[in-house]
Amino acid sequence: MNKFIIGGWSQSLLNESRKEFDVMMYGMVTNLEGLTTGTSMNPGWSPEKQNKPTGSPGFKGKTLWVYGGGGCSPEGKPSNQEEVSRIAEATKSQGWDGVDFDDECNMNMDLVIEAMKLLKNCQKETSLGFIAGYSYNHPETSTGVSLNEKIKKLILSGQCDRFIHYCYASAMWSKEDILGNVIPALKRTLSHGAEKKKCILALTTRGLTDWNLNYYIDQVLDFNLGGLFIWKYENLKNDHYEIIKERLWK
């Protein structure tokens, strides 16, 4: 087994995982009321009705669905125990290996933890992704204090397998933002009590260069993190994928 895990997200069920991936995540289930991709007015597929994709030939990793994501609504979900049970039941009934919670709409962390408990009770995987940038590194701001409290609470619960640090926006951050935020964010999560191997660094292929890719891999190695996840992995250049495999799987 590789010391560091590699994973990726896809917004299309038709996109097969790279066979070497350890974790594949499909979404984004942004219509949290109806539990579908898309919106309540224009819903897409639902993990309640969609079987876990089989993956590409040779893929032996785990396949999760994503609860949340950019543009998810409404806020404050899940809002009751029925919705918590619905998340777990969809995962079990359709054969998914777990749920990746992407909190971009002020989720109810107490009930996210309850959902994770149900998932863990039936041997499913759990993860939480969050934007680990300026606000997270500045807890004196209103959004910063809220995010830090959520992460602390989740770490304390012991129910989350992976804390995925989104260190990018619509494209890779500028060099200044990378140097100013990536290492402080990782140190912050570790200071909150997270285990190193539960911390994942995430990047996007848009704006990815040799320099920023190697910088992120440096942090995975230096901190001995869990691994590296990739947004828009289908656009990953072959030479960049070779760098990842050479440095993290050697």
**Burial environment of residue 207 by CB neighbours within 10 A (0 to 12, 13 to 18, 19 or more):** middle
pLDDT digits (tens, 9 = 90+) for 133-144: 999 999 999 999
| Residue ranges with strand state E in the chain | 5-10, 23-29, 62-68, 98-102, 125-131, 162-166, 199-204, 227-231
Give the separation between CA 155 and CA 159, rounded to whole angstroms: 8
* Closest by CA position to 217, among listed 244, 178, 189, 196: 244
Residue 56: per-residue pLDDT: 84
Share of the chain above pLDDT 90, in %: 95
- All structural domains of the chain: 5-248 (3.20.20.80)
pTM of the predicted protein model: 0.97
Residue 151: per-residue pLDDT: 98
Q: How far apart are the first and last CA of the chain?
A: 12
| AA identity, residue 114 | E
Q: Read off the pLDDT band of 234 (50, 70, 90).
A: very high
Residue 55: per-residue pLDDT: 81
User: How many CB atoms lie under 10 A from the CB of residue 101?
Assistant: 25
